[in-house]
Structure 1
């Protein structure tokens, strides 16, 4: 299939870029029924929308001409929500319209406004910009939209979410009523419908995405981790897949800084992107990813929309997004224009319910998996090593001489060992993670054939409160190497393992499988933690300082004596009084 009804001035650029088969949205905007009409378009992220509206407006801008005339006032205006998206649109339209002599300018926040003003004064055919900067140029008389033929709103829903409604209305009110208005939006809330009614005339409605169908080119995985192991899990996921380019999403600027520094320390070629960076710094980070100097981009949601990185094949959600829509936009950075992508959510056990809500709201089918282990990563390293093209390259004469010298002085085993060591030396070492941090959602568990669920044992916390004679049995009771801890919550505050276990897990960043026996007294609770993680657990609870209760380590060997204030609850009042007196006397 070829591009139908494409303006001849753009055909050469499409062929040069290898565009031979149009995407659904490109095909829809080029339909005869959409020609010279206003368009209201919702399409899946990564579906080629920029090229779509570039093709759709060509006939309006050029008519029967092959090239633009002298640049003066702009004929087309494209409004985008972010600097990155606006600059990306400028790049796309620049190559698409290269043979037409079009002058495509960008006006975005963070760039030198005076330089932009000089460029506008020199004339333009197409202007791409962000709402705030475009309005500023209009108010200062630097931008004249009196001859505008086409206005495009890209990611319109995002612009409204960011509070640009007033700016958009100001800009559109400054354009001729005769213009064409092309409105592209991933979603169509009421605000977008109202904007369309006000500024569009008899618009053709185009919807190329099915909201009940998952993006076919993106595979989704959810990986269970302990809360304190998220950064280690990021390391292992990146090492397992070793892709050309990946994005790791964090929720805050501070989290981006911390994870970026951690990845650099571990030996990854990583760059960071967040709202606090200057436009120059952001552009440099993205360019480093595009040209291969960096392989990992750590970013906030500023990178969730509009960025098109052709080689990006892996998206990692190190922190879960706030809503399903952001999840889809983040994930949509991969699997673009027919390429396959993988999206991985790292889900701490205490955020599993939120993850299920997000995935359900986004209507995604996800595979729940444990975190990659060092052994799995090493096995994958060996597979990649043996498949490396270095073994298939043509041998040069100068290399043959070196091989002969090596064979004369070293054994085959020694040479192979040196090669392997050189290969592994450039790879960051995988991390040892805590054991599988809990079960997959109930709907995703699979039966082993004997009625048990696969992937997890000791499912839910069902232990009853202690009767004062024996400890409640936690998921790991029976293990030999355990350390006792104390929580300053007892039966007087209705302590019960059903909610004590989640509290302990959250405070210490562990899974239920690391908790042993639990013994509840009137004013405190004693519980066991697996010895091998006890130090890490103690450090974590000191840092977290949960407001729900204070946890301290029991320094004595074994369970130790009960605190004087803590007495089993099933004793009678007389024994209780006697115990209290004895405690006071002691």
Structure 2
């Protein structure tokens, strides 16, 4: 019994023609005799061959024991996918799978000309693949007749519910014949999918492949810890280190996609963008550029890249951390498909370490924590690729020998090799120099300050720094200075260790760093006479310890603080508050005469200070209760006064 026995002969021949040698677990499960004609709820990882799997399941139902389809009329099967790209990809897969059966497959997706789709449907089709919204439009306009449907397939059902297509799916399923066969494929089976299956399937067979239990065994997960300011540089180094045939970089927003696309284009990468703001034609051209090799890096949002399958996609980079475990699995599932190996790299800022750990734990994924490839790592990897390049071992052709002889006569072999090396390296973007960050041991729970420098006056201000030397760096809080990247930079430039650095005092526009006496001498000697670090940061030695409370940081005259300002002289003539409650104040009151309150009191008032703001009365303000010249006893209504006629 061969691998393809039990499959419709025309389908088996198409698999052999395509180069299939073995079926994936989900494809084998769909050939189980107990599934013959039954509904199914299938959960399998992305990239496990689900499209071919439901194609194998549909063939017996649609062909009815025949080898070829009859003339096309009303559709016999409907395949629903969440996005345009996935729908068109499913159509391409089914076309080669059903090629020898004479099947006509049509597509109905948003962004395409609806009139052209209507003409195709009028001519007849055996299988229709489409997105929920466009299929509903055709059904309501009666351009799509689903009365003869024998089967309905929901591909990536969980994603369609997440995108808000529940009402459209319910409309399509309720309009379909009740005796149809319903197949649901989903990477995960949350409660919403289980409820939908219970409502629209009959005694569905639940299929869970072994590959779902061991998620993405063909994907190597790497969590790369970087300084917050080095995120883009780390992505550049990862792309250069792996030099994948195709790579995809996921961002959380369209603005981030546009920014990275512009940045990587400037760095010489062949890049295309894929986001929701692009037209269908632009998205189609972008994917086609990836497939035919004109572009090698695709920068995309989650929704735009849902379900796409690119050949040779060996690398997935998460520029922004996914929001939930399902998104992580779906992003990573773009690689490691159909038995190929792939790498999924998460770019984790030091501040997002805990969030990344929770994300990986929720997804039940074990990742390798490491630093991104450094510039030296990238250059060493380039040298390895060059030495292994087949061009160096190919037999020299007769037509090449004459010119090789001329080269060697004019230039020594070392000069020719150097020219070859320069030419090779000129075609690659230079790697970036990254800030050094610490990576804790695998499985170790990280404290919040694990990657940060010691706090001011904290553990770093050790007793052995009694003779510490202070320097000033021309960068502070306003320039987003942080000890977590300042310390690695200082150590790298001065060939120091953290033991040579004491307290760090951050100010708005500068930072004061304490060194051991020996460390300060080595640091100032290493940075040279210009006393400048990277990014134009200037270094200035200080005399003594900076007194931040008085602003005396350079040994000059101390700046006067608010506490140093002299108090104004007390005016003894000013009446003290609550003088009636103090017998001593009564004596002073008698000496200087009446108080201000007594002077302002009217004769006969028992309470001389009843009106706290006597100056608030305006001479021209009328008294509505006493003046008989105004109508009404109170405040007049409206904005004008009406004087009573005389």
What is the TM-score when the length of structure 2 is the normalising length? 0.75
Q: Which runs of 5+ in 1 are unaligned?
A: 447-456, 489-502, 539-552, 568-577
Matched ranges for 1:438-453 at <5 A: 438-440=438-440, 443-444=443-444
Per-residue CA distance 1:461-512 (angstroms, 9 max, x = gap): 6647579xx9689x9x979865166669xxxxxxxxxxxxxx963xx98376
Q: Residues 25 and 208 of structure 1 are in contact (CA less than 8 Å); yes or no, is this contact kept in structure 2?
A: yes
Change (3 A) 1:392 1:321: same
How far 1:442 sits from its partner (Å)? Answer: 6.0
Structure 1 residues 80 and 368, CA, compared in 2 at 3 Å: closer, same or farther? same
Q: How does 1:438-477 map to 2 (within 5 A)?
A: 438-440=438-440, 443-444=443-444, 463=455, 465=457
Instruction: Report how far residue 270 of structure 1 moved.
Output: 1.3
- The equivalent residue for 1:510 is 485
Q: Give me the CA root mean square deviation.
A: 3.4
Q: Secondary structure of 1:368's partner? A: strand
> Structure 1 residues 31-40 or 527-536, which shifts more?
527-536
Contact 2:222–2:369 (Cα < 8 Å) also in 1: yes
Which residue of 2 is the match for residue 141 of structure 1? 142
Q: Secondary structure at the match of 1:443?
A: coil
| In 2: Cα distance, 1:236 partner to 1:523 partner | 32
Tell me which residue corresponds to 1:379: 380
- Corresponding residue for residue 163 of structure 1: 164
Q: How does 1:49-88 map to 2 (within 5 A)?
A: 49-88=50-89
Aligned position for 2:254: 253
Partner of 2:279: 278
Unaligned segments of structure 2, at least 5 residues: 491-500, 515-522, 553-559, 568-646
SS of corresponding position for 1:427? coil
Confirm or deny that 1:47 pairs with 2:48. yes
Would you say 1:190 and 2:172 are equivalent positions? no
Helix, strand or coil at the partner of 1:222: strand
Over 3 Å counting, the alpha-carbon distance change for 1:480 and 1:19 in structure 2 is: farther
Q: Secondary structure at the match of 1:419?
A: helix
Aligned equivalent of 1:208:
209
Deviation at 1:522, TM superposition (A): 13
Matches of 1:361 and 1:73 in 2, distance apart? 45
Aligned equivalents of 1:524 and 1:231: distance in 2? Answer: 25
Whole-Å separation in 2 of the counterparts to 1:166 and 1:244 = 40
Point out the more displaced range, 26-35 or 437-446.
437-446
Q: How many residues get paired? A: 531
Other structure's SS at 1:141 match: coil
Matched, 1:127 2:128: yes
- Residue 263 and residue 102 in structure 1: after superposition, are their counterparts in 2 closer, same or farther (change >3 A)? same
Q: 1:379 Cα shift?
A: 1.1
In structure 2, distance between residues paired with 1:533 and 1:235: 26
Shift of residue 428, structure 1, vs aligned partner:
0.8
Cα distance between partner residues in 1 of 2:507 and 2:397: 80
CA contact (8 A) 2:503 2:513 kept: yes
Q: Which residue does 1:29 correspond to in 2?
A: 30
In structure 2, the partner of 1:18 is: 19
Q: Following the alignment from structure 1 to structure 2, what is the Cα–Cα distance between the partners of residues 478 and 334?
A: 53
Seen in structure 2, the aligned counterparts of structure 1 residues 346 and 519 have a Cα distance that, compared at 3 Å, is closer
Alpha-carbon distance in structure 2 between the residues aligned to 1:333 and 1:40: 22
**Distance in 1, Cα, partners of 2:98 & 2:52:** 10
1:390 equivalent to 2:391? Answer: yes
> Which residue in 2 is equivalent to 1:94?
95
CA distance in 2, matches of 1:361, 1:518: 39
Cα distance, 1:298–1:525 mapped onto 2, change above 3 Å: closer
Q: Which residue of 2 aligns with 1:362?
A: 363
Q: Is the 8 A contact 1:3 1:27 kept in 2?
A: no
Q: What displacement does 1:582 show?
A: 2.8
Taking structure 1 as the reference length, the TM-score comes to 0.83
Aligned-partner Cα distance in 2 for 1:109–1:478: 69
Does 1 or 2 have the higher relative contact order (CA < 8 Å, sep 6+)?
1
Q: Secondary structure of 2:443's match?
A: helix
- C-alpha contact (below 8 Å) 1:303/1:330 kept by paired residues: no
Q: Please report how far the alpha carbon of residue 287 of structure 1 lies from its aligned counterpart in structure 2 after TM superposition.
A: 1.1
Contact 1:320/1:347 (<8 A) preserved:
yes
Q: How far is the alpha carbon of 1:302 from its aligned partner? A: 2.4
> In 2, Cα distance between the equivalents of 1:387 and 1:235?
23
Tell me how far apart the structure 2 counterparts of residues 256 and 51 of structure 1 sit (CA, whole Å). 32
* 1:29 and 1:56 in contact (8 A); partners too: yes
Give the deviation of 1:353 after TM superposition.
1.1
Equivalent-residue separation in structure 2 for 1:537 and 1:319 (angstroms): 29
**Separation (CA, whole Å) in 2 of partners of 1:361 and 1:127:** 37
